[in-house]
Each structure stands twice: as structure tokens, then as C-alpha cells.
Amino acid sequence: MRADRALRLHLAMHVPFNLAADLDAALKRAATVASIADASAFSPEVRTAEARHGDFQANGVLGHAKARKLNPRALAEQIVGAIDPALGENYVVSIAGPGFINFALKPAALLAWLRTFDSAALLRAGAAAARAEQTWVVDYSSPNTAKQMHVGHLRSAVIGEAICRLLAFTGARVIRDNHLGDWGTQFGKLIFAYKRWVDPQALATDAIEELERLYKRGNDATPDGSPELEEARRELVKLQNGDPESVALWQKFSDVSLAAFQEIYDRLGIAFDHCLGESFYRDQVDRVYRELAETKLAEVSDGALVVFHPEHPRFKTQPFLVRKADGASNYASTDLATALYRTDHFKADGIVVVTDFRQADHFEQLFLTVGKWFTATARRQPELHHVTFGAVTGEDGKALKTRSGDVIKLKALLDEAVERAFALVTEKNPDLTESERRDIARIVGVGAVQYADLSQNRSSNYVFSWDKMLALDGNTAPYLLYAVARIHSIFRRAGAVPGDPSIESGATPPETPEEITLARRLTKFPDAIRLASETLRPHHLGLYLFELAGDYSSFNSADKVLVDDPAIRARRMMLCARTLLILETGLTLLGLRTLTRM
């Protein structure tokens, strides 16, 4: 056993995890060896190729030659001639078209890669170099307290969690921070309403529902200019001044809300490290005002403290309002304090905020301000990313508003998804026990909802539709999970454990077209991870997994796994085991749960 592990470690040192990155480095070395013009500036630009051109292609020769008035084909030949001969053992190298360099993995090289990366730990070890030693804070979900989570809250939670898992897989220490909307003017109205109309019975049975009712009633009862609004404002002042009764009520609202949110998070597989909402920063904004004033970044305009950015076409006149004229803070104040806390306290190298695109101006102004502020005060500069997505709209194209009455609660959405999945699994697999079918329905239903958001990149608006969100055909969670279940089924039938080295030991290199296509796809996993994590766009991984599942299905239809020939059986078992490993690893990275039968 120990010898076997040592052998695999040895192999891992000699078989690169990310083949594209390895080829890129090899071509740079070759360019130096060949002494091409400006070799140090040569960027090979190796990327995954379309299958008909091989496995990887280098596009960089064209640009390099063009810029220096060289013949691109001749330059390509020069570089290819200087490639380390050892590379030729693994790839068929060719020059095509105006000067593309193509690399096609030989079957033996495919086998070596598949043999080497045979566990989740090795995949993780291969990917973890990208962000080793880095700390990233991810700010996502971030609902307002005293209201239920509705369909509009889904995207931030689902996309944010997938980004957390991708960052962690690529080596980062990830801090999940739920930046709750738990402070502000709405609490004056809520306390006002609570004191008059709370229904203790309702509060005991469904607290968040009752708080939401009270908030709506409080809002309706306090129109502009009314004495009731004045009363609500007095309640807010009492809360802000630390009146014990008010603070106790506010704390109760927060506790009730968090408990309700947690039920949703549990179903989505989300566990926050911190829930540092706006209230957490209420004592930290004075320092922000002081520093922005001292560094002359902020000025007083119409009584408010604002920041302008003279170099920016729009923000030279559109102010970033960091303190209201009445002296109160707003979300710019607390977001600035939040950026400071994440940088100073968490030592963040990167901060990711996941919200809908309507807040793009705010975050652009925030990041510009933070950059100048931290420069002026000689602080570290974390990478700042605003990850946006389109708003959820109704069929009419209008945004679903919180107060419009017909919002869809997240709890109801998940329930409906699970019910639909249950009906489907019952139809497809009536022999399973009800308990098994319930378990499967939870994974398939919730996964379908999660994957609906993760399978597309769109920053355009998301038109809400039950049918679209819960679709079970095509590039969807059920299709991916079905592939997983079928692979498990083969191992059950064979009485074998996926990944057991003894069933793969006699494996020969892939031979049939379907085996080769599948094996080639498996080696592209590192590139999919790289792309998804660098761009903070999980759909790149989702699309890869869908293509992998498709290649597996074709293989599964064309090539029988449990055949008598031991070499063929071993290599097909290995292909099944690796497909399973990468599908399960990838789906987990997207935040989905997987299953063994469905």
C-alpha cells in the first residue's frame, strides 16, 4: 500500500495536473532555446482546442510574428523544432493554418494522466497552487432581516456559494460573510407596528411571517408627513441611542430572522462563517468619516459628506454620498467600514461581493473610493470584485418587487421543486421505497433550482418561470445526476468500489472513439476549474460537467463496461471511476449534493 502511494506521488510529480499550463511553459522554453526574436515577450496562449484540432492549441505565434513582421508559419516551425523531445512522447505536435500549433494527446499519455489523478485529494492538490496562502472574503446572500427570503434572493446565495467553493478548491482560505440588512429606517416602523399590533399567537407559530405582516402594516400606517411617521422616527432614534427595550426588540427580530434564513441555507448547503450585518459596523463609521475628511477625499455638499472622482466621466459629478445631511449613516458608510474591517481584521487578499447588477454604480464608486483611501493611508489593497447578475423579473419583464404581494417565497419554491422531482422519480422508479424517493427528490429538486442559476452566465434579467427553473431535460442537474447514478449502478453490478486500484491495474490505453473522447474530456477538468475560478463564473464549470456527462453517456451506449476481456474491462472501469470522481467533485464545487441511485 505504501509503495503504491509513493508510486502515485512520483507519477504526480511527473504528470502535470494542468496540461495546458504545462504546454504553455514548454513553448516558452522552446522559444528561448530557438532564440526567436523577443523570446522573452513571447506568450504562447495555449488553450483547450476544439476536438477536431486536437487537445490544445497555441495561438500566440500569429500575434508575435505579425507584430515583428515575421512569417508566422516559419516562426511556428522554428519553435516546434526546439520543443523538448520528451514532449513528443506524449503529444502529436503539428502546425496548422496560418501558424497554429496543435497538440493531440497520445493514448498512452491519456492513460498516464487518468492513472495519476485518481482521488479528490490529488485533484485538489493540483488545483490548489493558484491561490495558496491567500484569504478571500465572499459577501453573498445578504437578505434584509424581518422579511422572508424570496425568489430574488436565490441567485446571490447560489452563485456566491459556488464561488466560495471554487476559491477554496484553488487554495484560498475562504471567509463566508452574510452582510445582513439589519439596520436602518425600517426598524423604526417595525417597532412602531410591533408595539401596537403584534399577534403573540402568530409570532409563536411562524415568527418571520408575523414580522413581515407587521412591517407591511407599519409601512402603510406611516405615510409621509403623518404623526405616525414622526412616532416611528422617534422609535428609530431610541433604538439608535441604545434604549434597552428597543435594542431587545431589535435583537429578537434578528434572531427570528436568522433562524428562518438558516432553514433555507441548510437546504442549499450553505454555512456562513460570519453574519456581520450593517448593524455590526454602526460604531465604525465615524472613523470612516474622519479618515476620508483628513485625506481630503470627501467634502461637504448640501450638508452631506460626499466623495467625487474627478477622473471619472460620471462620478466627477455624481456624488458618492457617505454621510447624510442629518448626520446619519447610509449603506455607503457601512460598506466603507466593511471594506476596512475585511482588510484589517481578516487580512483579505480578495473581497467578492455578490449582488444584482442594479448596484453596479454603488460598488464602482465604493471600490474607487476604497482604492484611494487605502492608498492615502498606506494600507494593503485587496482585489475587489463585484459579481453581478440580472434581476429576477416576471413574465411581463418587470422586476419582481418585494411589496408587490405576489412574490414567490424561497421556501415555497424549494418545496415545489422537490414535489416535482418526487413525482418524476416515482414515475421513473416506482420500486424504490417512499423514503428513498423522498431523499432522491430533495437532491434532484433542490439541485435543479441551484443548477438553473449556475448553468448560465447571463447578466441580463432572469425571467422567472417555474417550468424553466425546474426543467429536467438538457443542461440540467437531473441530467448530470443521472450520469452519476448510472456509473454507481455499474459498480454495484460489478461488486466493485469506484477508484479501487486493483480493478484498474490491467488497464490499457483508451482505444474506441468513445473511450478516447471521454478520456480527452477528463483531462480538461483543470482548465475548466481555472477558467471558472479566475473569471468567478461558475457556469464554465457547469458547461464542462454537462459536456463530460454527455461524453460519458455516448461512451456508455457504445461500449459495454462489464465485458470478459480483463484489459478492456479494467480500462473501462477506470474511465467510469474517473468520470464519477470528476462529476462528483465538480457538482460538489457548484454546491450540489450527489446521489448513488435515482
Partner RNA sequence: GCGAAUGUAGCACAAUGGAUAGUGUAGUGGCCUCCGAAGCCAUUGAUCCGGGUUCGACUCCCGGCAUUCGCACCA
Residues 493 to 512: which contact RNA by CB under 7 A?
493
Which residues, numbered 99-128, are part of the site for RNA (CB under 7 A)? 100, 102
Which residues, numbered 32-61, are part of the site for RNA (CB under 7 A)? 45, 47-50, 52-54, 57, 59
Residue 175 pairs in a beta bridge with: 137
Residue 144 neighbours by CB distance under 10 Å: 19
Q: How far is the CB of 176 from RNA (least distance, A)?
A: 19
- The stretch among 34-42, 217-225, 486-494, 585-593 that binds RNA (CB under 7 A) is 486-494
Q: Are 237 and 128 in contact (CB under 8 A)?
A: no
Q: Which is nearer to RNA, 412 or 558 (CB)?
A: 558
Which residues, numbered 168-197, are part of the site for RNA (CB under 7 A)? 181, 184-186
Cell numbers for 474, please give them: 438538457
Q: Are 176 and 167 in contact (CB under 8 A)?
A: no
DSSP letter (8 states) at residue 283 = T
Residue 402 neighbours by CB distance under 10 Å: 14
State the sign of the Cα–Cα–Cα–Cα dihedral 19, 25, 26, 31: positive
How far from chain centre, in Å, is Cα 200? 41
One residue of 32, 219, 240, 461 binding RNA per CB under 7 A? 461
One residue of 10, 38, 66, 419 binding RNA per CB under 7 A? 66
Q: Are 102 and 54 in contact (CB under 8 A)?
A: yes
Q: Which is nearer to RNA, 135 or 152 (CB)?
A: 152
One residue of 15, 410, 444, 575 binding RNA per CB under 7 A? 444
Q: How far is the CB of 299 from RNA (least distance, A)?
A: 9
- The stretch among 7-15, 131-139, 152-160, 485-493 that binds RNA (CB under 7 A) is 485-493
Q: Which is nearer to RNA, 101 or 174 (CB)?
A: 101
Q: How far is the CB of 354 from RNA (least distance, A)?
A: 14
One residue of 240, 330, 508, 588 binding RNA per CB under 7 A? 330
- The stretch among 4-12, 162-170, 320-328, 411-419 that binds RNA (CB under 7 A) is 320-328
Binding mask 202-241 for RNA (x = CB under 7 A): ----------------------------------------
Q: How far is the CB of 259 from RNA (least distance, A)?
A: 21
Distance CA 392, CA 469 (A): 12
- The stretch among 122-130, 132-140, 236-244, 457-465 that binds RNA (CB under 7 A) is 457-465
Q: Which is nearer to RNA, 135 or 475 (CB)?
A: 475
Distance CA 259, CA 179 (A): 15
Residues binding RNA: number (CB under 7 A):
104
Q: Which is nearer to RNA, 8 or 179 (CB)?
A: 179
Cell numbers for 22, please give them: 504545462
Distance CA 282, CA 394 (A): 36
Q: Are 321 and 112 in contact (CB under 8 A)?
A: no
Q: Is residue 369 part of the contact set for RNA (CB under 7 A)?
A: no
Q: How far is the CB of 498 from RNA (least distance, A)?
A: 13
Q: Which amino acid is at 181?
A: G
140, 144, 178, 281, 338 from 275: Cα distances, Å: 10, 12, 4, 12, 12
Residue 358 neighbours by CB distance under 10 Å: 11
Residue 96, classed as helix, strand or coil, is strand
Question: Which residues lie below 8 Å from residue 446, measured CB to CB, with a gap of 6+?
Answer: 267, 268, 414, 417, 418, 593
Which residues, numbered 387-416, are part of the site for RNA (CB under 7 A)? 390-391, 393, 397-399
One residue of 118, 349, 527, 584 binding RNA per CB under 7 A? 527
Q: Are 571 and 510 in contact (CB under 8 A)?
A: yes
Q: Which is nearer to RNA, 210 or 356 (CB)?
A: 356
Which residues, numbered 531-570, are part of the site for RNA (CB under 7 A)? 531, 535, 537, 539-540, 543, 546, 550, 553-554, 556-562
Distance CA 106, CA 91 (A): 5
Which residues, numbered 245-304, are part of the site for RNA (CB under 7 A)? 278, 301-304
DSSP letter (8 states) at residue 359 = G
Q: Phi/psi zone of residue 398: left (φ > 0), alpha (ψ -120 to 50 degrees), beta?
A: beta
One residue of 146, 151, 321, 446 binding RNA per CB under 7 A? 321
